[in-house]
Amino acid sequence: MLIVFDVSNIYYLPQFLPVIRAFWGRKHRISLVCHRNNISSKYDAELDSVGVQSIWVADDKESLTLFNQLKPHWIFFANEYKYVAQLPVNTRTVQLGHGIGPKPSYYHKSSTPMTVRFMEGGLRLKKIKELYPEGEFIQVGYSKLDPIINGKEVGVSLSEKGLDVNKKTILYAPTFNPSSLECFPDNWPELFSEYNILIKPHTFTYTIEQYDGQRKKLERWNRCSNVYVAGELELSLVPFMKAADILLSEASSSLFEFAALDKPVIVCDFFKLKWSYRGLFHYRFVKRFGKDSVLYKGLGLHVKRFKELLKAVPQQLANPGQYSKSRHCFTRDHVGPMDGNASLRIVRWVEIHSE
């Protein structure tokens, strides 16, 4: 059976990898279809390291031509695919979302129906069934976290990154828009010198020209002895989550992911909006991020300005169980079963429905 994973953006890869590995040894042919219009050649080695064939296409249109030539049994997509109706008649499709953040696009990507969409938490499953009652939605959990839960992820080595293994470790995982990154002062690592700081930016911070200001901030922070900034080729947040004791973020699905590990998160309710989301255009921000936007009510402690982190971080590290009950509720609703077998459930469902 030929199974293809459509890697139209490089940051989809960490979501696919546990599923690809779950297919290994089951007598299937696995291929990646990678899109050159979105993925620089600097990532070629990273894709080759997956251990399966990588086939390159120029864009979505060329991928359709390829799919009609290959006639795969299954294609995994991380997002919507506008040519789904033009795929070979016997090719079945999977939608496996690349994140569990708050954007309405999480639900809207199912407006173009696929054979099946694998879902994470129970609340999300209920809502999407209400939106698309004719669709096939199967709850499996969140495959991205499988390696941590089942013990296969060893995590970032703090000593190899030049950090102190005896210190508590802060993980800062800002998204690219809206981002709190520009709101953190240049000297913030010095204010948290008693901690290790791991910084994992969104891939777009490195790849999109307009975020040069964010990259300059990262360069300054990376000079501090207690800081390690993930490089552009370090795609997955998972090894960093494994090594960290607390997470700081603002609008990233990493908040749900880290909380699912029953570790404390701090939600930064301060961030920089691009000009097209400000003032008279604020309605665009609300439309894109929904009514709850980046609030994540109850998930963890919220801070409204950077200075509040000076007290919030040590307080949460000293009381890691404060929001534990709430985290378990969010995990049930948004992340789903935490047994490390989400990928295996996906594989088994695909195999059963291929007979």
pLDDT tens-digit readout, 252-280: 789 999 999 999 999 998 876 554 454 44
Tell me the pLDDT tens digit for each residue of 203-243. Answer: 888 888 888 888 999 999 999 999 999 999 999 999 999 99
Tell me the pLDDT tens digit for each residue of 54-88. Answer: 999 999 999 999 999 999 999 999 999 999 999 99
Tell me the pLDDT tens digit for each residue of 133-149. Answer: 999 999 999 999 999 99
Instruction: Enter the tokens of residue 94.
Output: 């999977």
Tell me the pLDDT tens digit for each residue of 155-173. Answer: 999 999 999 999 999 999 9
Output phi, psi for 256, to 5 deg.
-65, -40
Question: pLDDT tier at 248 (50, 70, 90 boundaries)?
Answer: very high
CB 155 within 8 Å of CB 243: yes
Residue 292: predicted pLDDT: 45
- Measured from the Cβ of residue 73, the count of other Cβ atoms closer than 10 Å reads 17
CB 304 within 8 Å of CB 113: no
E-strand ranges in 141-288 read 169-172, 196-199, 227-229, 246-249, 265-268
Residue 274: predicted pLDDT: 53
Place of tokens 């929001």: 323
Q: Could you give the 3-state DSSP secondary structure of residue 156?
A: coil
DSSP string, 189-223: HHHTTTSEEEE---HHHHH-GGGHHHHHHHHHHHT
Residue 99: predicted pLDDT: 83
Q: What is the DSSP letter of 336?
A: -
Mean pLDDT of 114-140: 95
* Mean of all residue pLDDT scores within the chain: 91
pTM of this prediction? Answer: 0.90
pLDDT of 282 above 60: no
Residue 297: predicted pLDDT: 78
pLDDT of 290 above 60: no
Residue 315: predicted pLDDT: 98
Residue 272: predicted pLDDT: 63
Residue 212: predicted pLDDT: 86
Residue 281: predicted pLDDT: 41
Q: How far apart are CA 310 and CA 95, in angstroms?
A: 41
Q: How far apart are CA 158 and CA 67, in angstroms?
A: 43
Residue 196: predicted pLDDT: 98
Q: How far apart are CA 130 and CA 114, in angstroms?
A: 16
Angle at CA of residue 223, ends 218 and 224, nearest 5°: 105
Q: Could you give the 3-state DSSP secondary structure of residue 84?
A: helix
Q: How far apart are CA 103 and CA 289, in angstroms?
A: 4
Mean pLDDT of 334-338: 95
Contacts of 352 (CB under 8 A, 6+ apart): none
pLDDT of 316 above 80: yes
Residue 337: predicted pLDDT: 96
Output phi, psi for 333, to 5 deg.
-80, -35
Residue 275: predicted pLDDT: 44
Question: pLDDT tier at 100 (50, 70, 90 boundaries)?
Answer: confident
Lowest model confidence (mean pLDDT) among 47-51, 187-191, 283-287: 283-287
